[in-house]
Amino acid sequence: MTVSILASTQIEYPDEDGLPMAESDFQRDYLMAAVKLLEIHFQNRPDVYVSGNLFIYYEEGNPQSVVAPDTFVVIGVEKCQRRSYKTWENGDKTPDFVLEITSMSTRSQDQGAKKGIYAFLGVREYFQYDPTGDYLDPQLQGLHLVEGNYFPMPQTSLPDGTSSVSSEVLGLDLRVLPDGKLRFYNPTTGEFLLTHEETEQARREAEAARQEAQERAQRLAAKLQELGIDPDAL
């Protein structure tokens, strides 16, 4: 028993493989943005863990049983900082949602080996998105798991040319805009998810517009007073 425990504790589960996170700005930017947006969306849910480009080990004692999704969401586990995600340390919970940012070097793996692993792990929804539109047609593809096999999720074409796929797991729509950009849309609020930076930018723009309207009103009032007109009488 002592030998078994000692052998177990000597097994190493690396936190990284030393390889670049993504092969281009297109993949890296969308990877980082997707994780950040979903973290903000679920910030009030202590039982939802969002991460990306993090090793998921799914077989205790076998460091080779590992996969690293670009973006993933696990519902029903503690939200906390992790160096890697080991399923046996988290109630055997595996991701409910996975998004891979597809590129030339990852296309075959995303549609082959990783797809098989995600099905084996019981990932309910598996999305692939191609930022450049060079490797996937359509650019966004969603799959949902039914009895161990993945089946395509329906896509909706909106009048403006936007393509939309609804995620039951997230309660959000993943939308590819006419310019090819991927956005998360909340059908409950009727708004796109915004990063902290985008929210702050929108606040600054609204404040600037309010200030400009106030200054226009003051200039108009001053002009009316010059003409001997009481602004309050209008």
Neighbours of 92 (CB within 10 A): 10
87 & 15 share domain: yes
Residue 83, pLDDT above cutoff 80: yes
pLDDT band at 7 (very low <50, low <70, confident <90, very high): very low
If one counts the domains in the chain, the total is 2
Please report whether residue 70 resides in a domain.
Answer: yes
Please report whether residue 1 resides in a domain.
Answer: no
105 & 218 share domain: no
At 38 the three-state DSSP class reads helix
184 & 226 share domain: no
139 & 181 share domain: yes
221 & 145 share domain: no
pLDDT given for residue 189 in this prediction:
95
Q: What is the CATH number of the domain that holds 103?
A: 3.90.1570
45 & 114 share domain: yes
Mean pLDDT for 82-91 is 96
Question: 152-191, pLDDT tens digit by residue?
Answer: 999 999 999 999 999 999 999 999 999 999 999 999 999 9
212 & 116 share domain: no
CA–CA dist 183, 31 (Å, integer): 12
86 & 137 share domain: yes
Q: Rounded mean pLDDT of the chain?
A: 84
Mean pLDDT for 117-125 is 97
Please report whether residue 43 resides in a domain.
Answer: yes
Can you give the residue range of the structural domain that contains 210? 199-233
Residue 225, pLDDT above cutoff 90: no
131 & 223 share domain: no
36 within 8 A of 195, measured Cβ to Cβ: yes
CA–CA dist 162, 176 (Å, integer): 6
